[in-house]
Each structure stands twice: as structure tokens, then as C-alpha cells.
Chain A
Amino acid sequence: MTYHRFTTAKTVLAACALVVLAGCGSGGSAPSGGASGAGPVRGGNLIFAAVQDAQSMNNTTVFDNNSIWIFEQIFQTLYTVTDNGKGVKPWLATSYTISPDKKTYTFTLRKGVRFSTGRLMTSADVKFSIDQARKATQGWAFLDTAIASVDDPAPDTVVIHLKYPWAPLLADLSIFANGVVPANYGGQTEAQFYQHPVGTGPFMWDYWHKGQALKLVRNPYYWQKGLPYLNSITWTDVPNDNTRELQLKGGQAQIDQFPAWSTVGSLKTTPGVHMYLFPSTQTNYLAFNELRRPFQDVHVRRAISLAINRAALVKAVLFGNGKPANSLFPPQVPFYDPGTPGLQYNLAAARAEMAKSSVPHGFTTSILVPAGNSDYVTIATILQSELRPLGIKLNIVQLDPNTVNNDEQTLKYDMVLTLWTMDIPDPDELATFAVDPKSGARSFFTAYDNPAVVKDTHLAETTTDPAVRQRLYNFVQTQSANDAFMAFLYYSPYPYATTTNVHGFFVTPLGNMHMENVWLSKS
């Protein structure tokens, strides 16, 4: 054998040896369970490929959705959101009564509910949990401002006293921030507790390797008999859209969170994959800074809103998987008014508004876009060409996402793209945040101020008559659309792709998932 062939042979042999050696590693675990069509089967370990890691398990302070959707499997609330996202249903409480003055709610707790430590839940735990949520200096305490005090007169009774009648109370109580934890954190400090949280939910803490994976395992003391079906769920941090999709196709994950819109069509026809588009409360907006000229001029804002072809945005950005927006509220929110036309695409009307404005010949302005966000860059590029007929020259300014966030919240922008998803099944949180300049967010960081709209928003909070609330919120929706303080762009669903052996997976319009109902079949 000559030297060259020998060298080549050694090279090939070495390469093969390395591949074989590398191949002798552990493989992933295949899901267990019965054959599909045979009904729910107990067992299995589900891998959930998430777009980003969680931030914290502190349910009273954290705003990050990925953290929320995980710890909702651990902590539960007195009432929970219904599947259509428009109401609440009993959960850790079974019923309530309300005083004639509508300021005292008495809740009866469900019997036999235990924490994952085995200890029975009592009203003392509920009182402690809600009191902790109310006093969090940063976090969701603003939703509990109507609560004056919480009492626990009996182990299965909780009494909530309000400062004034408050229509959204049950919706506010359904938020994860009011999730029930052991009183006094089970003897630990708050910081220690949230490193290994304990709740009454279907799953309990296992581990969290930050930036890699967070695992929950079945709670053996869970109060819904026979549930959860799964042995465990592991959320993995997989920020790359392609990688999540490949993990799904390669069997390394069973759920792909938020696949790219461009891949939804192909995933619908991929064998072994089920593509879901769950109705959501997500709404995308174009915000105008009314502290900067000429956006204080309602005609300018209306002109821009009328010049936007929302159907084209839905097609270009969402690949058709969405709906043009007509209202500040999304359709899945209670008291949404489908009859509010909003300002839909009408170039002639847009030109007429510009003619009436303070800048009839147009102007130069800018839009802030987070660098690397291809959807927002696409929207901005489309807006650039759609505003040109009005004489508006739009410069797209791409900045790092943190800087865009900062500039938006300190009102250092002309126009910016933004979005909202509901946290409670009541429009109050969104309405107050969006239209009240004194809400802390300065009307969704636009400085919009219409006293009539603000007044009706606050009236709707203290009125418990649904018909009156509908009338008030109809006005809020119609007037805010006419004022065009933001251009309402589109409503989009929550896209999730799963392998076909995943059953029972459902996401409410608020993004909540009841993973206790999910089971895996063998095929």
C-alpha cells in the first residue's frame, strides 16, 4: 500500500471512528402512551420548545409571558378564565355571594385541595397570597387596588372587602398574580420560596437550568382526580424558529411555540404535525406620540390610519393568518363591539383628512422598529409606501429592542409599533392602560387625552350591569377609533405546532394552557 492510500485510509478510518464514538451517546426519550383514538392515557414526558427562557417564578411581580405560562401550571386562582377567554369559572373556589352594596364578596373554597407538599389549602393561604399580590411594589398590585382587605373567617371561607363596587373583581382574581401559595411561603423567605415554588396546580417543581430547560413533574396531590396525564413537562429554551421546527420534525420536541408565520402553511401539510391557530387577544397597533408635531393633530392621525391597507399587512406579515383590526379591543374580549367600523383603508378619505390638517402638503417623520424583528420591518416598509401618496416621508429607524422600548416609554419617538395581549377576561385593564393619561402608562405612551373617553372607562369599572358596561365600552371603542390615537392594525392568533401524538392541547385567548388535560399517545 502506498503512503498516499495509507494516509487516506487512516483518515477515513479515523473519521468513521469518531462518528461511531459520537453516535454512542444517549438518545432522547420517546413519548409513551396508548394508541391514538383510545382515549387519554397516563404517562409520558412532554418537551415544549419555547421561544425564550422564563425569567422568574414570582407570580406577583413578573410580566414575562413565558414565565407566566409556566408557573400557571403550579399556582392556581380562585376563579380561572373560561376557554373562550370572555369569562371566569370556579376553580379553587366553588361559589361566591355578593353583598347588596356590592362591596363584599364571600367565597367558598373547594374542599380537599392540597399543595404539592401534601398540606391542605385553607383560607389563610388565600388571604396571604392575595395580600402579597396587593402589596408588591412592582408588579400586578394595580389590579387589586379596589380591594380594601381580605379576611379568612373559616378555613373554607374567604371574604374580600372592596373600597367601592368593582365590576372586574372576579376577572382580577383570575390573574396568576393572585395565585394561591402557602401562607408565609411555608416558612421560607419570598426569595427562597420562588426558587422552588409550591402550589396547588397539576404540576410541581423539579429543576430549572437557566437558559437551557425548566422541568415540572406531576403533582401527586392534585385535586382533579386522574389528572394530570403527563409525568412531566420540560420547557426548553430554543430561540431560533428553524431549530424549534426541526426539533418538532426530528421528534426532539412535541410542541413548537410560535412557529414563524412563513412556515405555518407548510406545517399544516407536514405529516406527523398538527398546526394550531388559537384565537388570541393579541392586537398590533401603530402608536402616535401626541407630544410631537404634527401628531397632536387628529386629522393627521386619522389620515395615516385611513391610508393603511390592513388586509395587505395581514397577507404580508401574517401570511393571511389574521384579521384587520377595527377596535382597540380584540374580538375575544368581553364587550368587544363588532359594529365599530374603525378607520379602515380608504385613500380618498385619507387625502381629505390630510387636506384638513395642519400639514396638508405632507411632512417627514420616523418610525422606531426593533432591529432584527422582521415582522415589524415588513410593516414599516409597507407603511413607508402607503403614506407616500399623502406626502408623508417615513424614515425607518432600526434600534436595538431595549432602546426602542425605552424610547417608547419615555415618549421619545414619532411613531412606533406596539402590541397588547390581555391578562384578564375583562376590558378594564386594557381600557385604563390605553386611554387614561394618568394610568402610569400615559395612554399607552401616546399622551392621548379625551376626558369623555376616560370618564366612561372609569364608569364601566364601577358599574356591574353588563348592559350599561356594554354601552360605555361601545363609546370608548368608537370614540378612540375616531380619535385615532393609535392605528389599530390587526388581530393575530397564537400559532402552535405539535406532533400528532399530542392530545388535549388548548390555549385560551389570554394564552393560558391547562396542561393537565394534555396526554401523549404512542402514534
Chain B
Amino acid sequence: MGRMAFVLRRLLMLVPVAVGVTIIVFFMIHLIPGDPARTILGIHATPRAVAILHRQWGLDRPLVSQYWLFMDRLLHGNLGQSLYYGVPATGLILGRLPATLWLVCYAAVLAVLVSVPLAMIAASRKDGIRDHVVRAVPLLGLGMPPFWVGILLIYALAIHVRWFPVSGYGTGFGGHLHAMFLPALTVAIALAPVVIRALRASMLTVLGAEYITTARSKGVPRSRLFLRHVLRNAVIPAVTVLGINIGFLIGGTVVIENVFAIPGIGQLMINSIFQRDFPVVQGVTLVFGVLVVLVNLLADLSYAALDPRVRFDR
């Protein structure tokens, strides 16, 4: 019951988060200079043509009235019509969301697969050569701009040897796995250093604990010691770090989506801001807000899964 109540409480938090996000984004995007009618009409934006579009889109109404209309539609699951494409914003966003989720999840998996073994290698020989190499080399990935890393990977693995496509999203599960490997690896290269350092630090703390000394003295094999005792107790801070970074990633994939021509919501957001496509900007921001809350919830739930001592009671 404790866990259920915790989940429900966190899900209920989505409501004030969503309302807050809609208010801030709605008024910000409407108040910055620029007009979606002029974007669509281009140099043929006569005052009459602009006025017709404003009337068609309801942009000639007072801002507060436009906001209430938006909230009323939102309560019915309707995010409005894309001003640029003239199609429902909901469909547009839902059509692009899977690509971003694929990228984020794939990158997180790759980051974990790389980080856990490397952190274990580093922690097992503190201040040794392996430790120094594991701590120093991934920092290169942190320091290099992601778009540059992406282009290097494309040259190496898609042009010189055609193991992967240069860009795109692919079709079907296998196609996505194939096409998204390079972009996911690009993100993982930036994500892994932070996770490795956090995991290594907490492993070193756990390695100094008395129960580890006891386990060693009882003759527990080293691999079992690390996997069953050290890793499990050390992983929670790394989960926190990963959860926070994934939250940033959700909105921060736009550069990778641009380089690899992935039809995700990051790229949709940027294009919609430039086009002043208000309904899409509002919708995407709302989705970002909800996803960040859900990712943090998942991170919190994973603590209990990893550590039975964690309770959700107040």
C-alpha cells in the first residue's frame, strides 16, 4: 500500500506541474516577437492575409481567452491544430515521440552497459593504472561536443565501413536498433563519464564497509562479492545521477536529432519555436514536463527494487 500511495501521490503531482508548465510556456511563446502567419505567408504576408489567418486561428482574441480555450481543449485531450502543418498537434507529437524515447532509452542502456563494468574495474584497483585510465578516458567524451562525436562516428562506422546507416530512424524494431545505434552511442559517450564517476565513488565507499570485510574474510569469491554486495549497495547514487541526466536528455536530444536526422520531438520543438507554431510548442513542453516527472518517479521506484530497506511511508 505504501508503494501504491507513493506512486499515486507522485502522479497527482503531474497536475500542478502540467498547469504550471502550460501557463509559463503559453504566455512566453505568445509574448516573444514573431508571428506564425508571417512565417507561413513569407514575403507575401499582406496585412489582409495576416488578419485572415489570425481570425482563422483565433489569434485575434485576448491572450487570456486564448489560454482558457487551450486549457478547455487540453481537458478533452486535444492539443489544438498545428498552425504550420494544419494537422492535430497531438498526432504530430505522438508521431515523433517514439523516436526520442528510443534515443533516450537506447542511450541509457548503452551508458549503463559501458559504465558498470568500467566503474567496477576502476573501483577494484583504486588509484591503480586501470583506475586512472577509466577515470580519464571517458572525460574525453564529456569534453567533446556531441555533434562532433556524432560526425566522427558516422565517418568511422557508416562511411568507411558501412556497418550502420549515416542517419535516420529505420523501420521496425530491428531497423530502429540498427539505425539508432550511432546516435545512441553518441549520447552514451557523453552520459557515461558522469555515471562512471558516481558509481565508482559509491563503490569505493561500500568497499570500505565492515560487511564487505566480513564477506571477504568468509571467502566469498571476488566476482560474487562485487556483483551481489558491492554493486547492489553502490548503485543507488548512480541511479540518481542517471535519472537526472535522462531528465535533461529528454529535452536535450535536439542536437543529436539534427545531426542524425531523427524525427524526434526535440527537433519538432525547435522548428515549432522558429515557426511560432504555438499549439505544438505548448504540447511538446507539456510532454517534456510529464516525461521528466515520470523519469524521476521511475528512478525513485527503482531504489526500492534495488534496496529492500527503502520504504515509501512518510
Contacts and interface: CB of A to CB of B under 8 A. Distances in A.
A111 B13 CA distance: 67
A10 B258 contact: no
Contacts of B44: 63, 142, 440-441
Contacts of A7: 117, 120-121, 124, 223
B263 A209 contact: yes
Contacts of A420: 43
A402 B124 CA distance: 55
Contacts of B125: 4
Contact of A55 (B33, B84, B154): B84
A464 interface: no
B121 A8 contact: yes
Nearest to B264: A211
A211 B96 contact: yes
Given A18-B110, A138-B41, A440-B46, A23 B178 contact: yes
Contacts of A242: 151, 259
Contact of B222 (A3, A138, A238): A3
Contacts of B118: 11
Contacts of A247: 166-167, 261
A22 B178 contact: yes
A249 interface: yes
Given A237-B261, A240-B261, A250 B165 contact: yes
Interface in B268-282: 268, 271, 273-276
B260 A26 contact: no
A28 B275 CA distance: 32
B41 A402 contact: no
A238 B114 CA distance: 30
Contacts of A25: 170, 174-179
Contacts of A444: 43
* 3 closest cross-chain pairs (CB), A and B: A25-B178, A402-B34, A440-B46
A512 to B, nearest CB: 18
A403 interface: yes
B164 A22 contact: yes
A236 interface: yes
B308 interface: no
A357 interface: no
Interface string B34-60: 110011111111111100110000000
A413 to B, nearest CB: 12
B248 interface: no
Interface stretch (B4-12, B85-93, B190-198, B202-210): B85-93
Interface in B126-182: 130, 151, 154-155, 158-159, 162-172, 174-179, 181
Given A25-B177, A238-B167, A246-B158, A210 B35 contact: no
Nearest to B124: A4
Contact of B175 (A10, A26, A62, A243): A26
